[in-house]
Structure 1
Amino acid sequence: MTTIEALPRPAGPAAPAAVRVLVIATQPLAAYGLRALVAHTSGLAWCGAAPSAEKALPTLRRLHPHVVLVDSRIDGDARGIHALRQARPGVRVIGLVHDDQATATGYLRAARAAQVNGLVSQSAAPAVLVAAIRTTHHERAFLDPQLAPLLAGSEVTGALPAQAVRLTPRQLEILTRIAHGLRNAEIADELGISVETIRTHAKQIMHRLTARDRAHAVARGYQLGLLRTPGTAAPRPA
């Protein structure tokens, strides 16, 4: 397969402080989906995509991405992660873990050995992946809560102590709707309260979760068990 590095870029120059993202994935549709997420997220900039770590090295050296997303299906032994970190020390690497849980544990351990910076399930909500990119860029480890049971006790985690955070029932309602992608006006319509009240609650939620923005708040919510992940029981608000 030829490289898909030359995907069209979003119009207009990227902000100087934008986090540059490179993707390693075999399927063009997956790369396009990730490109769309990056292109429509403030503070992120698209560097391109490649079908393997080896073919990504020229782009890595030329465009100096801050964060590289690597599909676990083409890097099952995590050698690609190691090669990327060797080629550009300081680059942050996130493993996108395939949903085949029968092989996930072995991959997660290999990725840890290769000093991966973050691990995210490919079925994760977009906000979780965005939070992972931003968190790893700021030199903190990130572990998708869906993968936490497979690495219980691992140091690869960005979670806060669950007992340190409490949300009111109303705040939990609002956070859940933010996680579903609703805007303030849509949440206000659903709950029958004003948009200004939603903004106030959102600020309080971000403060309690020590989150930088809404996407980070959603990721914290998943990490702390405040939001539901597939197959889990509904959370209990304080």
Structure 2
Amino acid sequence: MTIRVMLVDDQELLRTGFRMVLQSQQDIEIAAEAGDGAQAVEVAAVSQVDVILMDVRMPRMDGVQATRRICLEPDGTPRAGAPKVLILTTFDLDEYAFAALKAGASGFLLKDVPPTELVTAIRAVHAGDAVVAPTTTRRMIDRFAEVLPVPQPVSGPPALTPLTEREREVFLLVAQGLSNGEIAAELVLSEATVKTHVGRILGKLGLRDRVQAVVLAYEAGLVRAGGV
């Protein structure tokens, strides 16, 4: 299966570099390009693309706004059939990465990502996985904690109402950055069972991947920067 990729960056030189790397892969096709977020939204609406590499800081419309319009419905629910978005960030300078994950992005990459990692990330996202490892996601949340609004603690918590008791346990461990193997060991379950639980959790909570599960847990006050 060919993965149709869209490149979004206001720097043509960077798009050229990514294009050269990706065109060498037999299973990846550059299906579209855009020079800013507004153009990305327009092109995504009329193009059949699977994965979008999205810059953050661009003229007219930044990558966060563009991601939200592409990935989410006006009411904030995931848009059916929307392409997966990978945010391109310098990390040390971009405090917008967290907001992009809230907007529906499936993860983020550094702009100087090695070619092999870029290709692997695109394939992973296309397969439905999150590009950012859970532990890396938690470190990112810790990094940006000072610029984020303080989460409001919840009682219950109502955010997890649709989940069974076991699914809540798995969800909280996912939010702490544990892998499926680590969760299996913690709860004395098989990895296959944990994977099934994670899939059901994402479906019940309307989440695209583990990255957004961590975001939800942080916003609900179930975890906090630096610990649980």
TM score, norm. by length of structure 2: 0.54
Give the aligned CA root-mean-square deviation in angstroms.
3.2
Partner of 1:150: 140
Quick check: 1:41 aligned with 2:31?
no
Given candidates 46, 51, 63, the residue that maps to 1:62 is 46
1:51 positional shift: 1.2
Q: Residues 58, 76 of structure 1: CA spacing in aligned structure 2 closer, same or farther, 3 A cutoff?
A: closer
The amino acid of 1:107's aligned partner reads: Y
Counterpart mapping for 1:1-238 below 5 A:
17-74=1-58, 78-86=64-72, 89=80, 90-99=82-91, 101=92, 103-104=93-94, 106-143=95-132, 148=137, 149-151=139-141
Counterpart-to-counterpart distance in 2, 1:48 and 1:77: 16
The amino acid of 1:151's aligned partner reads: I
SS in 1 for 2:121: helix
Contact preservation (8 Å) 1:53, 1:84 = no
1:144 positional shift: 6.6
Counterpart-to-counterpart distance in 1, 2:112 and 2:62: 17
SS in 1 for 2:57: helix
Contact preservation (8 Å) 1:121, 1:147 = no
Structure 2 residue runs without a partner (length 5+): 74-78, 143-172, 185-228
Partner of 1:13: none
SS in 1 for 2:10: coil
Q: Residues 160, 129 of structure 1: CA spacing in aligned structure 2 closer, same or farther, 3 A cutoff?
A: farther
1:135 positional shift: 0.8
The amino acid of 2:87's aligned partner reads: G
Counterpart-to-counterpart distance in 1, 2:63 and 2:140: 17
Counterpart-to-counterpart distance in 2, 1:156 and 1:26: 35
Counterpart-to-counterpart distance in 2, 1:156 and 1:27: 36
Q: Residues 120, 144 of structure 1: CA spacing in aligned structure 2 closer, same or farther, 3 A cutoff?
A: farther
Counterpart-to-counterpart distance in 2, 1:160 and 1:146: 12
Structure 1 residue runs without a partner (length 5+): 1-16, 165-238
Counterpart-to-counterpart distance in 2, 1:133 and 1:125: 13
Q: Residues 146, 155 of structure 1: CA spacing in aligned structure 2 closer, same or farther, 3 A cutoff?
A: closer
SS in 2 for 1:120: strand
The amino acid of 1:83's aligned partner reads: R
Q: Residues 160, 96 of structure 1: CA spacing in aligned structure 2 closer, same or farther, 3 A cutoff?
A: farther
Q: Residues 18, 157 of structure 1: CA spacing in aligned structure 2 closer, same or farther, 3 A cutoff?
A: farther
How many equivalent pairs are there?
145
1:21 positional shift: 0.2
